[in-house]
């Protein structure tokens, strides 16, 4: 598996573009280097890492942040019929300082972008971003003067959920994909242990993974009956 | 208040208005334009505009509401026979509740002198409309209290709705945000009380300025309001909008008449096909299409189902804003049930874009009536439960009774429509007063409030849901047989069965679907009673496959503008109760 390494941010120069921080591709699992150094501590670190990641991924607290239509479907995922509590993410936080991840649910406007950046900066590490819906993914059907063509123009995005708006089930799937990727992450276990950087696993593309199965469907149900 | 019956052809009432204006300003001062808008459209000169507006506002059976105010960039318009020379035309649409009539005044402006006198002293809600016209067209309003940008960021260059301004984001350089740019933008958004004529202190009191939004759990989206506080008391407040401007009007100038339908869904995004309604009806007026009874009834049924779904969202979030955690879980369960029906019929949940020019996208599927009946049977007991557990709850009553109350007169002066107007006791529902699409054949009542307070606005919507259920029940019982699409050459897409008959029908079909239908040059407008108030599309066709100008008048825009006049002297928790009771979504404000 290949990884992308992000280091903790130093003070950024004024002309630096968002997203901040230098990203570096790493071919080899940093954990393996540890194992080469010492078999016993290597194993211990692996166990610790897995345990911490397991804890992180199963109690992700979302930030109560919404922009447009997608937010309604996101909220629907929080309520009884879809019950996001099954995945440990029902603790909605009104303050970014208490939240683990932010869902960009809706259109990202040029007037709103600096505000979104401010709110993202106020979240504490470890933090993740889900881009929900076509507008946040790429601008979608709004190729118009007031809309940023995708939130990844200034925020680092972990998971993209397609749809306009995506169904609540799609959002829940996106959340589970984020959980899978958190399980594979490598973060420093302490400020004195190991490499001080965040290694994010490059997760497989869902489109490529599911393509063979999806093209098996050749006959679609007619809309003539319910 | 008694309301006259509305008929689009009644010209006698209109004649008296024209006579009154001509008597005052002379025969030459007023030019009548014939359109398909169903209202009197008059051109007046800039010099007499203010006097003409005040004459109409103060006449017996007055035009008490400034319903809409916007502009058209006429510089590229080819078909303007008989109209005054104009580079930019500003229009004022006035509404009279007693007459049940509208009148539109148009003023021609030349490129070297884009100024007009402000109308804020006549109609208080002209304030934001004039700011919007300045923002979008660069037309100056002399004497305006604070002519600043409304929708675009304060650092923006240019006026987007001018024809020479780019439309697509991809025509500009890709968006980047630098650390320095972030600081500049944040600084530009900083609220400076002095700009708004506000004092930082008075006597011994030092005011606190509280910034609520653009992201706040009770602000229902990207809405910002700055409060001037003395302790808990709101001395004044300034709503700030534009964080949700998706350029829907500019979008209309580049999408074909047909392919613009999905964009209407996303204007009031809780309203679904309700948004297709005014647009499609306005296009059908331009095209001269008479739709079948079955299509009309299907449209009404789906629109009312979305009204219920939207009101359920309102009810859950309104009570949650008041601090009640559980209702939102119950109402969203009901919404899920509504979506099951909507999805079975239209194939999508929130934005089906299901209405078509000349009909609907497809016929009702087999078994739709059983599904719909299931929902209609499910709801009444739930609504009763909400009333008992919430609206009869002492805490909810204390929090909302006599809070943020306003009178019918104030509501009309601020352009308030829909349930928020009816909560003041004004019986004005377009489904009754100006029936469209066959509403006159349905048996239902228009619920009214008495106090115009936050409680009435909540209670009234529960009652409205009951009436919508009655309408849907009548649709189930009496669904007419027949086609779901009109037999007309401009129906889009044309009937598929005819496509493969011979080459001529194939060519027509191909052109209609790829380029879209061409509509004759004219202007039309249709208002409907949408989920949140009166929503209308004012379309100008220049004989093309696209609209020349699409003006969307949304109900939530004036509702938000009214907030300061209602909240002065209130407390912060009252503001939250009021925001919950307005029922707005930001896309319906900023478009």
Residue B159 lies in a domain: no
Residue that is last in its domain, among B82, B100, B119: B119
Residue B325 lies in domain: 248-590
Residue that is last in its domain, among B87, B119, B151: B119
Share of chain A above pLDDT 70, in %: 93
Predicted confidence band of residue B13 (pLDDT cuts 50, 70, 90): low
B111: Cβ contacts below 8 Å, ≥ 6 apart: B75, B87, B88
Q: Do B247 and A73 touch (CB under 8 A)?
A: no
Query: With 70 as the cut, is the pLDDT of residue A83 above it?
Result: yes
Amino acid B479: pLDDT: 92
Amino acid B512: pLDDT: 86
Distance CA B489, CA B29 (A): 41
Residue B164 lies in a domain: no
Residues of A in contact with B178 (CB under 8 A): 14-18
Distance CA B566, CA B579 (A): 11
Query: With 60 as the cut, is the pLDDT of residue B515 above it?
Result: yes
Amino acid B339: pLDDT: 93
pLDDT in tens, A111-163: 999 999 999 999 988 899 999 999 999 998 999 999 999 999 899 999 999 99
Distance CA B334, CA B339 (A): 9
Residue B562 lies in a domain: yes
A vs B: CB pairs below 8 A: 165
Amino acid B154: pLDDT: 87
The larger pLDDT score, comparing residue B12 to residue B390, is at: B390
Average pLDDT over residues B218-226: 85
Residue B187 lies in a domain: no
Mean pLDDT of chain A: 86
* CATH (domain of B527): 1.10.645.10
Amino acid B195: pLDDT: 85
Mean pLDDT of chain B: 89
Residue B368 lies in a domain: yes
Average pLDDT over residues B118-125: 92
Candidates B182, B365, B586; nearest CB to A224: B365
Residues of B in contact with A68 (CB under 8 A): 221, 244, 266, 269, 586-587
Query: With 50 as the cut, is the pLDDT of residue B327 above it?
Result: yes
Query: With 80 as the cut, is the pLDDT of residue A59 above it?
Result: yes
Candidates B177, B251, B371; nearest CB to A114: B177
Q: How many domains, in total, are found in chain B?
A: 2
Q: Give this complex's ipTM.
A: 0.86
Instruction: Compute the C-alpha angle B146/B151/B157, nearest 5°.
Output: 85
pLDDT in tens, B174-200: 888 888 888 888 888 888 888 888 888
Residues of B in contact with A141 (CB under 8 A): 262-263
Start-to-end C-alpha separation, chain B: 32
Residue B214 lies in a domain: no
Query: With 60 as the cut, is the pLDDT of residue B51 above it?
Result: yes
Query: With 50 as the cut, is the pLDDT of residue B283 above it?
Result: yes
What chain A holds in terms of domains, given with CATH numbers, is: 24-203 (3.40.50.12280)
Amino acid A144: pLDDT: 92
Q: Residue B564, Cβ neighbours under 10 Å: how many? A: 16
* CATH (domain of B38): 3.30.460.80
Predicted confidence band of residue A12 (pLDDT cuts 50, 70, 90): confident
pLDDT in tens, A24-39: 777 777 777 666 666 5
Residues of A in contact with B333 (CB under 8 A): 79-81
pLDDT in tens, B410-432: 999 999 999 999 999 999 999 99
Average pLDDT over residues A68-80: 90
A108 annotated to bind ligand? no
Amino acid B6: pLDDT: 53
Candidates B166, B185, B186; nearest CB to A145: B166
CB distance A72 to B269 below 8 Å: yes
Residue B167 lies in a domain: no
Residue B222 lies in a domain: no
Query: With 90 as the cut, is the pLDDT of residue B66 above it?
Result: yes
pLDDT in tens, B329-388: 999 999 999 999 999 999 899 999 999 998 999 899 999 999 999 999 999 999 999 888
Query: With 60 as the cut, is the pLDDT of residue B81 above it?
Result: yes
The nearest CA of chain A is from the CA of B240 a distance in Å of 12
Predicted confidence band of residue A15 (pLDDT cuts 50, 70, 90): confident
Share of chain B above pLDDT 90, in %: 54
Chain A contact probe: residue of B211, B266, B271 with most A CBs at under 10 A:
B266
Using the CB atoms, write b or e for B164-202: b if 16+ within 10 Å. ebebbbeeeeebebbbebbeebeeebeeeeeeeebeeee
Candidates A20, A113, A149; nearest CB to B170: A149
Average pLDDT over residues B106-130: 92
Average pLDDT over residues B568-574: 89
Average pLDDT over residues A98-120: 91
Query: With 50 as the cut, is the pLDDT of residue B1 above it?
Result: no
The nearest CA of chain B is from the CA of A161 a distance in Å of 16
Query: Do B114 and B258 belong together in one domain?
Result: no
Residue that is last in its domain, among B72, B90, B119: B119
Q: Do A65 and B368 touch (CB under 8 A)?
A: no
Chain A contact probe: residue of B132, B179, B342 with most A CBs at under 10 A:
B179
Query: With 70 as the cut, is the pLDDT of residue B2 above it?
Result: no
Residue with structure tokens 């025969």? Answer: B27
């Amino acid at each position: 598996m290949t990884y992308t390494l992000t280091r903790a941010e130093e003070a950024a120069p004024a002309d630096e573009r968002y997203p901040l921080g230098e990203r570096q591709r790493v071919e080899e699992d940093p954990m393996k280097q540890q194992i080469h150094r010492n078999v016993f501590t290597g194993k211990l670190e692996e166990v610790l890492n897995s345990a911490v990641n397991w804890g992180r991924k199963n109690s992700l607290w979302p930030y109560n942040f919404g922009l447009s239509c997608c937010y309604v479907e996101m909220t629907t995922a929080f309520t009884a019929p879809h019950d996001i509590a099954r995945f440990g993410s029902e603790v909605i936080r009104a303050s970014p300082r208490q939240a683990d991840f932010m869902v960009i649910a809706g259109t990202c406007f040029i007037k709103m972008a600096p505000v979104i950046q401010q709110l993202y900066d106020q979240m504490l590490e470890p933090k993740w971003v889900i881009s929900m819906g076509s507008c946040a993914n790429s601008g979608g059907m709004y190729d118009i003067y007031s809309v940023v063509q995708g939130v990844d123009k200034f925020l680092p995005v972990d998971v993209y959920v397609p749809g306009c708006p995506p169904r609540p089930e799609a959002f829940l799937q996106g959340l589970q994909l984020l959980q899978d990727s958190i399980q594979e992450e490598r973060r420093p276990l302490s400020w004195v242990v190991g490499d001080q950087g965040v290694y994010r696993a490059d997760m497989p593309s869902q489109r490529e993974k599911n393509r063979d199965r999806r093209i098996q469907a050749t006959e679609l149900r007619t809309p003539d009956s319910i | 208040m008694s309301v006259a019956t509305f008929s689009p052809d009644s010209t006698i009432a209109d004649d008296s208005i024209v006579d009154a204006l001509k008597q005052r300003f002379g025969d030459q001062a007023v030019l009548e334009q014939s359109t398909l808008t169903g209202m009197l459209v008059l051109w007046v000169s800039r010099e007499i505009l203010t006097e003409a507006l005040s004459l109409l506002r103060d006449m017996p059976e007055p035009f008490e509401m400034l319903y809409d105010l916007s502009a058209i960039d006429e510089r590229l318009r080819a078909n303007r026979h008989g109209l005054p020379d104009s580079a930019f035309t500003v229009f004022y649409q006035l509404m009279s509740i007693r007459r049940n009539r509208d009148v539109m005044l148009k003023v021609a402006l030349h490129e070297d002198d884009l100024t007009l006198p402000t109308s804020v002293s006549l109609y208080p809600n002209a304030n934001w409309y004039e700011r919007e016209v300045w923002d979008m067209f660069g037309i100056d309003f002399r004497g305006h209290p604070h002519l600043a940008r409304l929708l675009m960021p304060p650092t923006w260059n240019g006026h987007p709705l001018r024809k020479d301004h780019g439309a697509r984001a991809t025509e500009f350089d890709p968006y980047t945000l630098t650390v320095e740019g972030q600081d500049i933008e944040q600084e530009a958004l900083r609220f400076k009380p002095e700009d708004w004529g506000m004092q930082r202190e008075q006597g011994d009191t030092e005011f606190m300025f509280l910034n609520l939004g653009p992201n706040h759990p009770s602000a229902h989206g990207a809405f910002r309001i700055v409060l001037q506080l003395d302790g808990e008391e709101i001395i004044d407040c300034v709503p700030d909008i534009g964080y949700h401007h998706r350029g829907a009007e500019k979008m209309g100038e580049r999408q074909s008449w047909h392919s613009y339908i999905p964009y209407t869904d996303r204007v009031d995004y809780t309203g679904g096909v309700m948004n297709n309604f005014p647009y499609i009806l306005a296009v059908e007026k331009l095209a001269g299409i008479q739709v079948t009874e079955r299509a009309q009834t299907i449209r009404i049924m789906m629109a009312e189902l979305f009204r219920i779904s939207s009101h359920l969202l309102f009810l859950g979030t309104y009570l949650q804003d008041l601090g009640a955690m559980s209702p939102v879980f119950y109402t969203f369960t009901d919404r899920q049930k509504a979506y099951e029906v909507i999805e079975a019929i239209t194939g999508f949940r929130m934005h089906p874009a299901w209405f078509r020019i000349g009909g609907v996208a497809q016929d009702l599927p087999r078994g739709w009536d059983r599904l719909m009946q299931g929902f209609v049977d499910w709801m009444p007991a739930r609504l009763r439960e909400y009333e008992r557990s919430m609206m009869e709850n002492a805490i909810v009553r204390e929090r909302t009774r006599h809070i943020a109350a306003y009178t019918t007169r104030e509501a009309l002066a601020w352009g308030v429509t829909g349930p928020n107007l009816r909560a003041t006791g004004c019986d004005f529902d377009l489904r009754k007063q100006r029936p469209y699409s066959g509403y006159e054949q349905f048996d239902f009542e228009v619920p009214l409030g008495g106090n115009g307070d936050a409680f009435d606005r909540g209670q009234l919507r529960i009652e409205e849901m009951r009436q919508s259920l009655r309408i849907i029940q009548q649709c189930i019982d009496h669904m007419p047989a027949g086609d779901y699409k009109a037999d007309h050459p401009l129906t889009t897409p044309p009937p598929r069965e005819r496509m493969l008959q011979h080459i001529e029908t194939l060519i027509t079909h191909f052109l209609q679907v790829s380029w879209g239908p061409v509509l004759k040059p004219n202007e039309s407008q249709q208002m409907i009673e949408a989920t949140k108030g009166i929503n209308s599309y004012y379309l100008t066709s220049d004989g093309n496959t696209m609209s020349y100008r699409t003006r969307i008048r949304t109900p939530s825009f004036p509702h938000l503008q009214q907030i300061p006049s209602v909240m002065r002297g209130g407390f912060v928790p009252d503001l939250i109760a009021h925001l919950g009771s307005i029922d707005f979504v930001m896309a319906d404000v900023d478009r």
